[in-house]
Copies of this chain bind each other. A is one copy, B any other.
Amino acid sequence: MNKLILVTNDDSIHSKGIGELVSVARLFGTVVVVAPDKPQSAMGHAITISNPLRIHKFSGFNGVDAYECSGTPVDCVKLAIFEILKRKPDLLLSGINHGENSSTNVLYSGTMSAAIEGAMEGIDSIGFSLSDFRPDADFDAVKKIAKKIIPQILKLGLPSNTCLNVNVPKLPMNKIKGIKVCSQAHNYWSDYFEAREDQFGRPYYWLTGDFSDVDQRNNTDLYALKNGYVSVVPTHFDLTNYTAIETIKFLEDERKFK
């Protein structure tokens, strides 16, 4: 049966990465694209609740049905399912992101938030990211990886409530050592701000930072990427720390309050 595949991203419908993903996706089914009309990187799981959303047809994908949307990546997924397709697609693909979404970057990433939103809706969803921020990055290797992973997921499906976070190192294909299933590293950004002055002498702050190295486990996505592997993390939307439930039971209280 022909598969319906929804493609979105966070770098905008005009980025190179989504064009590359569309070219792979159309090998496996009927593709519909609903993606932001402008860059929405680092928007996390933001949604637009206080403003209206706009959709316009987009003709840049050579015959593929495509729409650009004024909202966030998660808005795009919701609009695609409930307004444009009026059904759930068989597969949701997000990316290919210009830049890595390993470790805690998954929380800030619009690319991965779109995939997580898909998982919430019960759709098999995969986010693809390349460890290269450049607008003209070379997506050849990540396209080959996508061609390998997509048919496996179409055939075997994903565990419930779970999407895939696939990150590909910035290496030529013949230098990539293989694919590792990993856990999300706990490393986070150790930020700092550059304080500058505008033309009126008023201060402003620009976020920058370095990545911490707090997580030294050898089964993480960061470890795999650093060692030349593609990382695949099964990612869900349940943030409960189940192992901590017993630890904080001291907070429970069955008494009525006064």
Contacts and interface: CB of A to CB of B under 8 A. Distances in A.
A31 B50 CA distance: 31
Contacts of A251: 149, 152, 164, 179, 181, 232
Nearest to A164: B248
A234 B244 contact: yes
A15 to B, nearest CB: 14
A161 B241 contact: yes
**Copy count, this protein chain:** 2
A138 to B, nearest CB: 15
A45 interface: yes
A: contact size bracket: 35 or more
A183 B39 CA distance: 34
A104 to B, nearest CB: 6
A162 B42 contact: no
Contacts of A53: 193, 204-207
A62 interface: no
Most buried by B among A50, A78, A196, A253: A253
Given A173-B258, A250-B152, A78 B191 contact: yes
Contacts of A107: 45, 113, 116, 237, 239
Given A174-B257, A244-B162, A181 B39 contact: no
A248 B231 CA distance: 12
7 contacts: A52-B196, A159-B241, A173-B257, A174-B258, A180-B252, A233-B240, A234-B244
Given A82-B192, A162-B244, A236-B241, 9 more contacts: A42-B47, A44-B44, A52-B196, A79-B205, A107-B239, A152-B251, A174-B258, A178-B252, A178-B253
Interface of A: 39, 41-50, 52-55, 74-75, 78-79, 81-83, 104, 106-108, 113, 116, 120-121, 141, 144-145, 148-149, 152, 156, 158-159, 161-162, 164, 173-174, 176-181, 183-184, 186, 188, 191-193, 195-196, 198, 202-207, 232-245, 247-258
